[in-house]
Amino acid sequence: MKRKRHVCLLVFVCALFWGSSLAVAQKSAPEIQIFEKQVNDYIALRNKVRANAPKLSKDSTPEQIHAYRTTLQDALRTARPNAKPGEFFRPEVADFIRRTLKAEFQGKDRQELREQIFETETQGVVIRVNYPYPQSAELSEMPATLLAKLPPLPKELRYRFVGRNMLLVDRESDVIIDYMPDALP
């Protein structure tokens, strides 16, 4: 009985180690490193653009906040005039993400995850790189378990789903940085 417990514990520890080392290996793959470099380059550009934008005070009115957001969106669009779909989600990164999503969305226990993402009201959201995600549209939250398996993002960016499409969105300006069609299985 004691030996059986030790064997089970050893199997559990090995599975845990193998799973975490697999996740680390996947996230350190060359295509993920390229993605992370592109994201970091965007953040550097974003910070330069943001430094030149007018500052908001703690007492800013809704109109001032709206004007700031619009100015930031326009400045980001100007700073990336040739931005196009697939710039960040290159084929090799998109393949990695699609494989990860497919594995995450299988089985009965994942039905709730699918329902959560697909019940979000995103109909009518126009997906265009360099343009804002509509503030009036509902946001689909990414479950922590899924985020842990995707390439990590800095706090300035977030993943979002619109239907089966995955978006990379700037948190402050809501500008869609890139999108991947048919990301979800």
Condensed to tens digits (0 to 9), the pLDDT of residues 130-142 reads 999 887 677 766 7
Structure token digits, residue 168: 């990379």
Neighbour-count burial for 132-162, b at 16+ CB within 10 Å, e otherwise: bbeeebebbebeeebeeebbebeebbbbbbb
pLDDT of residue 110: 66
Residue 135 phi/psi, 5-degree rounding, is: -65, -25
- Lowest mean pLDDT across 74-78, 95-99, 120-124: 120-124
Who wins on pLDDT, 41 or 21? 41
Averaging pLDDT over each range in 38-42, 55-59, 146-150, 164-168, which range is the top one?
A: 38-42
Question: pLDDT tens, 36-64?
Answer: 999 999 999 999 999 988 888 889 899 99
Q: Determine the angle formed by the axes of helices 62-79 and 30-52, rounding to 10 degrees.
A: 130
pLDDT of residue 107: 64
pLDDT of residue 10: 36
pLDDT of residue 114: 64
Q: What is the pTM of this model?
A: 0.77
